[in-house]
Amino acid sequence: MNRSLQWDIFCKVIDNFGDIGVCWRLCADLAGRGHKVRLWVDDASALGWMAPQGCAGVRVLPWCQPLELAAADLEAQPSEVMIEAFGCEIAPEFIASCAHAASATGQKTVWINLEYLSAEDYVERCHALPSPVQGGPAAGWLKWFFYPGFTPATGGLLREPDLAERQAGFDRRAWLTAQGIACQGEASGEKLVSLFCYEPPALAGLLRQFAHNGLDGQPVRLLVAAGRAEKAVKAALSHEIGLQPLMDERYQLSISYLDLLTQADFDHLLWSCDLNFVRGEDSVVRALWAGQAFVWQIYPQHDAAHLDKLQAFLDWLGAPESLRAFHARWNDGSHQQASDNVTTPDLPLWQACARTARARLLAQDDLTTHLLGLVAKNR
């Protein structure tokens, strides 16, 4: 698709900023390929630190009630593609405006429902299926279901066209120094581990394990993301008597608490570390592109449906038994004894697994390419 299109992406921030994170990466990727994007979001505050410079070609508009359609100038720039992200429902007045424009021009807006990421079997079956709109001003239109995924029969994963080039040119030492991290990995004999998590009960055991044993026979510097991960680590340190002296030089663990990172710097963090603990949807994709050993804390659901989703992902990944065992403990919601250590990470084996998976993914089209193909086919 060569012609620039006008996209409207609707996002509601539920919690943890994963929804807005994915939507912003998609917006920026589309804009980078020459398209114009309006991002309608009910809470854009996280973009102040995720993407403080904004992005040429992307306009952020408030998703309020009623929707301020005049701010979008729909008459001059009618919507050609509209996306409802992660189950949110597009404002009805916007749909009415699109239907009105279509009646005048004969050109319907391509309507896409962007679903959550999963490796489960249903994703291949349901990806790119149409659903007729039964009522309202857009009755008779089709809504297309778009499922991100890990195989060629799905919608793929977000991957910017210049990602490999940026990784190849990345200066790890310079970036760590800019973050005030003096160790710089190999130069000080430390293994770098990033921690972006919720509140896993296994966290105290992991901290104790790192403190007494290090990682692969080397001391660990833990780089802790701001927010819930930072609070979880500080709570573990204050609540567990056995973790009180972790900052003593006799121990194998040192901790650095990071400021809020832009999306670009979050990628840089993952590229810099020997082992990455990530959570949610956006960061596990970025961990895959980083090509380093990683552990995923999947978003917990009350009915434990997330565990089936996690198992499907580990099956696709071809995870070795040690990595499966670690994931089972890390994602266990029961409060076992804090002294229970998790499986010792096997960095060489886990990294080889991650890089094999990345190679398979790099041989497939990315999400935006799949999305552009779906739109071109149905316009």
> What residues are annotated to the active site?
19, 281
Q: Computed over its alpha carbons, how large is the radius of gyration of the chain?
A: 22
Q: Of 293, 355, 282, 290, whose CA–CA distance to 326 is shortest?
A: 293
Query: How many other C-beta atoms are found inside a 10 Å radius of the C-beta of residue 214?
Result: 17
Separation of alpha carbons 327 and 333, rounded Å: 12
Q: Say if residue 122 is exposed, middle or buried (CB neighbours under 10 Å; 0-12, 13-18, 19+).
A: exposed
Three-point CA angle 266, 271, 275, nearest 5°: 100
